[in-house]
Structure 1
Amino acid sequence: MQRVVVDPEVPRDVADLFRRNGPLLYRLRTKRPPRDGDAPRVPGVLTGIFGGTVALAAFGLFLVGAPFAESVVLLTALSGFYLFILGMVYLARKPSPADSVERLLYAHAHHWQGRFLILEDFDYDARHLLGRVQRAIDHILRSRVNAMGMLDSVRNSVMLPAEEWEIARLLTKLSALRARHRHLARGGRSPEVAAAMAPLERALAASEAAVLARVEALERYAGHVSDAERALLSQGQIDALRAHLPEYEQLVAETGAARFSGPEIGHLSDDADMLRRALRESVRSAHEAFRHLDG
């Protein structure tokens, strides 16, 4: 599932809050925002009812001539019962942690309005492309070759989120224009309207192709990173085999099978050298793809 896309200039803690609460951000757009005045208060209606009840009880006790001590006990019991009810009502209305998150999220969303994009900002086609972008970026940033510094990990951590934001921003514009275009074309077109809309459709198609080219460039970069990952893994496995090569050579010598060992075991060294070259080539290709992506 696609995550919320956040402008890299938004502070990291706020960006992480947005990414964790995509559905809640959407709900905040579609309902009345939380306000400080929504905090729970002592229910005034209950206070009024209690005051009236105590007054009536006191007046009734006065009329029947009840002893003072019994009157005090009864009125104290009424007060205790009221406080119990009031406490239960307060606990029921006390803000939950989710309410606090919603209030904080709304404050940040209002402050950083226009600097984050949620799933509902994209149409179906745009969501599909955004998913491809995010999968490619995640694969690159989580790769071993990136963690080991074989790629430009520092630039990756800066440039790739910026590329995600820029592509996402363009996709939201395309989504809005496509929706408007479909609305204008609804109900049929006369030849004159079709002729007038043709240049706009060509411009829209050219823009879609340009965004798609950026997505594919990002995926090519991720593909080269995958090649380097496979070469790195294979090289590690071959190096582990080579570490045990003396044991195999000794066994072959002891069993008198030396005439079979030379060419076969010698391939390990050739394979290791080939994988090192493949790894260097994969990393070089990744760097070239990065430079192409970087413009």
Structure 2
Amino acid sequence: MAKGNAGWAPAILILLGVVGLAGIADQTGATGARIIFVVVTCLAVAGVIYLVKSGYFRRIPSGVNYILAIEREHVRNSVHLVLDPTLTADEHLAVVDGFIPRLLAQGRPHAFHGPYRDRFVEINQLTGESQALLSRAERAAAVIGDSQVKRAGLLDAVANDVVLPQQIWEIARLLRMQSHLQYEQHRAREGVVTAELSAVLEPQQAALQRSVDSVTSRVEGLERYAYRVQEADAALRAREALRNNDKYLALLAHTDDTEGLAQLTSQADVLERTVASSIQEAVEAGQTLSL
């Protein structure tokens, strides 16, 4: 609190000085008033210099910047974008700004026509099937990113922090290319389709389908990795539950159940090995992303 109010100290001192000097001015006449005016002016300048040096004015948000921040947040919430992870922070903002109506009205080129038009994918550029594939990939990535094993640092950091975002971007980029070619195929088949036209389009369609199958396989690979991560999370929960075994062992000891004691101890040993195995399998699944 003291730090936040520190910037007001010079202003308060100046105000007190003005009040005090005003009382003196009543008794000193015009000459005294001029002297007091000079003194107060010097105090005011000193106060402003202090506020500038202390960074007080920098803490006051600019109205324009505040509006821009709100507009950017609106774009992030309303426009589904997949961006090239190699974009810098400034380049990222440049893409977002290319969707803000106010900036477009001021002459800024739309993001689709800007310098980074090939470095992002907007969901509406994709066909329905491609949108569904992208959503599956993003859901898998979200499962991995929100997992307990990732937060615990048990997964391959490179696979999750570098390779995974790159995989999502490459999938989105390929889906955009496929969607564009699918639109072309659809337009070419409007009207009468002759044997000659079919002879041209069918090999193209076959090549397109091979690409679609390849991307689908990538998405399925991400989903398998996400499932392994979920299994590893379940294994961690099992490990946490194992820590409560002492309570149950004590309960069985009090009831003189030696057979139950032996079974619970044996099961704990097996589960501990299962936990370690599940986590290792999740790590290995993540490492295959970069292969």
Q: TM-score normalised to the size of structure 2?
A: 0.65
Residue range with higher mean Cα deviation, 262-271 or 170-179: 262-271
Q: Give how far 1:193 is off.
A: 1.6
Confirm whether residue 244 of structure 1 aligns to residue 244 of structure 2.
Answer: no
CA distance in structure 2 between the partners assigned to 1:190 and 1:285 by the alignment? 53
Q: Which has the higher contact order (CA 8 A, sep 6+)?
A: 1
Counterparts of 1:57-96 in structure 2, within 5 Å, are: none
* Residues 2 and 148 of structure 1: CA distance in aligned 2, closer, same or farther (over 3 Å): farther
| Residue type of the alignment partner of 1:199 | P
Q: What secondary structure is seen at the aligned counterpart in 2 of 1:5?
A: strand
Unaligned runs of at least 5 residues, structure 2: 1-77
Counterparts of 1:1-295 in structure 2, within 5 Å, are: 3-12=80-89, 15=92, 33-35=104-106, 110-240=114-244, 242-252=245-255, 258=256, 261-295=257-291
Q: Give how far 1:122 is off.
A: 1.0
| Contact 2:98-2:104 within 8 A present in 1 as well | no
| Residue type of the alignment partner of 2:126 | F
2:61 equivalent in structure 1 = none
CA distance in structure 1 between the partners assigned to 2:100 and 2:93 by the alignment? 18
Report Cα offsets for 1:245-274 as digits up to 9, x if no partner: 45314421xxxxx2xx12223332233222
* Residues 133 and 12 of structure 1: CA distance in aligned 2, closer, same or farther (over 3 Å): farther
* Residues 32 and 231 of structure 1: CA distance in aligned 2, closer, same or farther (over 3 Å): closer
Q: Max radius of gyration: which structure?
A: 1
| Contact 1:238-1:271 within 8 A present in 2 as well | no
| Contact 1:26-1:120 within 8 A present in 2 as well | no
* Residues 182 and 146 of structure 1: CA distance in aligned 2, closer, same or farther (over 3 Å): same
| Residue type of the alignment partner of 1:168 | A
* Residues 177 and 107 of structure 1: CA distance in aligned 2, closer, same or farther (over 3 Å): closer
Unaligned runs of at least 5 residues, structure 1: 37-102, 253-257
CA distance in structure 2 between the partners assigned to 1:292 and 1:235 by the alignment? 26
RMSD: 3.0
* Residues 34 and 205 of structure 1: CA distance in aligned 2, closer, same or farther (over 3 Å): same
Among all aligned residue pairs of Structure 1 and Structure 2, give the percentage whose two residues are the same amino acid: 29
* Residues 122 and 32 of structure 1: CA distance in aligned 2, closer, same or farther (over 3 Å): same
| Contact 1:7-1:115 within 8 A present in 2 as well | yes
Q: What secondary structure is seen at the aligned counterpart in 2 of 1:33?
A: helix
Q: TM-score normalised to the size of structure 1?
A: 0.64
Provide the aligned length of Structure 1 versus Structure 2. Answer: 214
CA distance in structure 1 between the partners assigned to 2:267 and 2:89 by the alignment? 45
Report Cα offsets for 1:19-65 as digits up to 9, x if no partner: xx6xx86575xx992327xxxxxxxxxxxxxxxxxxxxxxxxxxxxx
| Contact 2:147-2:229 within 8 A present in 1 as well | yes
Q: Give how far 1:282 is off.
A: 1.8
